[in-house]
Amino acid sequence: MAVIEFERLSRRFDGQDVPAVNDLSLTVADGELLVVLGPSGCGKSTLLRILAGLEEADAGDIRLDGRSIIDLEPRDRDIALVFQQYALYPHLSARDNILYPLKVRNVAQAERQTRLGRAATMLNLDRLLARKPAQLSGGEQQRVALGRAIVREPKAFLMDEPLSNLDAKLRTHMRTEIKALVQDLGTTTFFVTHDQSEAMTLADRIAVMSAGTIQQVGTPDEVYQHPANRFVAEFIGSPPMNLLRARADGDHLVVADGWRIPAPPGGRQRPSLDASSGSGLTLGLRPEAIRLSQTAEPGALAAEVFLTEPLGSEVIVNIRLGDEIVKVRTAPEVRPAPHDTVWLTALPGGVRLFDRVTGQALAG
């Protein structure tokens, strides 16, 4: 159980112009499962390795329960790490792999067996303990690696893309297992991934990272519904949020093609709306924030269908709007053909606005 605080952390690798981690501050609450989500190369793994003590920071501090750990060796940080490649010791059996950190710490023999038994039951490993890693499947190796982390009863778990070496089906399964495990143990967990569905399903909070900085921290819902900027809007969601050039016109927003959408209500955004109208706005609409109708509706915009992508449980309809393509999520039975005319209505609660220059969210 622990609070992890990153304070103005920076790290630049030799020979690179852009820092991997850039003046980053972030707090992971006690018992929270925080997922750092970002594209490859955004610095999330570097951040995790600095936290683990495997990489050094150029500047900044990391505190664990208020105590600075930045100068400590990895072994003194009381943090367990689950690697993407599992990192099981090939010459040791699953049992000895799990017991290794306890042996290193001279935990009493009886206590070792108790903790091993508990972990093995929790992870359903009893039948596998005698095997060497080479005799285990990927999922089993992953469970042993988790076992090695939990027997230590550390202050925090770090997980570095622990699921990305598993096949798709197993990944979904292990995702559930990890979530249940962490909930059971209540241990603070710092989880790094590039997979947004992993992040959405696992996280108590998501920290979206790009170019060495945190773009937004929030619950999965917050991050999805109210992205802090264009990067988050485009990175999260599949398909991502539609971003359209717009300008303010009184109470309405006008999209390039002449689509008039009522501006989102509320007093807070109005001044910023006015302030930004000179430089221009970007309007954000999630694919499910647009209602598609195959018959004419008052106030709706008529547009031409470009392509229909059926996905089983839903259909993504691509619609041509001027020189842009808008993706709309519809029910599975809606199947407009290319060149059909459909009518679009933006749902009032789903309109998001961004400054076209800075990319920052303006409203909502």
Partner 1 sequence: MSTSASPWRPRLPLPIRPGSADPRPTGATTAQASAAPGLPVEVAADVAVAPRTAARRRRGNRPRRSPVEWLLVHAAFALALLFFLSPFVWLLTAAFNARADYVLQWPSPWTLDNFRTVFTELDFSRYLRNSLIVSLSTMVLTTITVALAGYSLSRLDIRRKAWITYSILLLQTMPLSATMVPIYGLARELGLRNNYLGLILIHTAIELPFLVWMMKNFFDAVPRYLEEAAWIDGRSKFRAWFEILLPMARPGLAVAAGLSFLSAWSEVLMVLVLVDDPDLITVPFAFYRAARGSGSYQQVDYGIIAALGILYVIPVLIMFFATRRLMVRGLMNSTRGL
* CB nearer to partner 1: pick between 87 and 334: 87
**Cis peptide bond upstream of 336, omega within 30:** no
- Using CB under 8 A as the binding rule, the residues of this chain from 32 to 71 that contact partner 1 are 52-54
Burial class (CB in 10 A: 0-12, 13-18, 19+), 130: exposed
CB 50 to partner 1: min, Å: 13
CA 167 to chain centre: 19
Q: What is the widest separation between alpha-carbon atoms in the chain?
A: 76
* Contact pattern for partner 1 over residues 68 through 87, marking x by CB under 8 A: -----xxx-x-xxx-x-x-x
CB 99 to partner 1: min, Å: 10
CB 104 to partner 1: min, Å: 4
Q: Does 89 bind partner 1 (CB under 8 A)?
A: yes
Burial class (CB in 10 A: 0-12, 13-18, 19+), 99: buried
Name the residue with tokens 């241990």: 187
Q: What is the DSSP letter of 162?
A: T
Among 8, 91, 127, 173, binds partner 1 (CB under 8 A): 91
H or E segment and range at residue 242: strand 242-249
Count of residues of this chain found to bind partner 1 when the rule CB under 8 A is applied: 24
Q: Does 104 bind partner 1 (CB under 8 A)?
A: yes
Q: Does 100 bind partner 1 (CB under 8 A)?
A: yes
Cα distances from 61 to residues 33, 147, 305, 352, 357, in angstroms, run 21, 30, 53, 35, 32
Which span (37-45, 60-68, 89-97, 215-223) binds partner 1, by CB under 8 A? 89-97
Tokens of 61: 């501090």
Q: Does 134 bind partner 1 (CB under 8 A)?
A: yes
* Contact pattern for partner 1 over residues 144 through 183, marking x by CB under 8 A: ----x---x-------------------------------
Quote the CA–CA distance of 243 and 284 in Å, as a whole number.
5
* CB nearer to partner 1: pick between 45 and 242: 45
| CA torsion through residues 124, 128, 132, 135, sign | negative
* CB nearer to partner 1: pick between 87 and 300: 87
Q: Does 212 bind partner 1 (CB under 8 A)?
A: no
Sites of contact with partner 1 (CB under 8 A): 52-54, 73-75, 77, 79-81, 83, 85, 87-91, 100-101, 104-105, 134, 148, 152
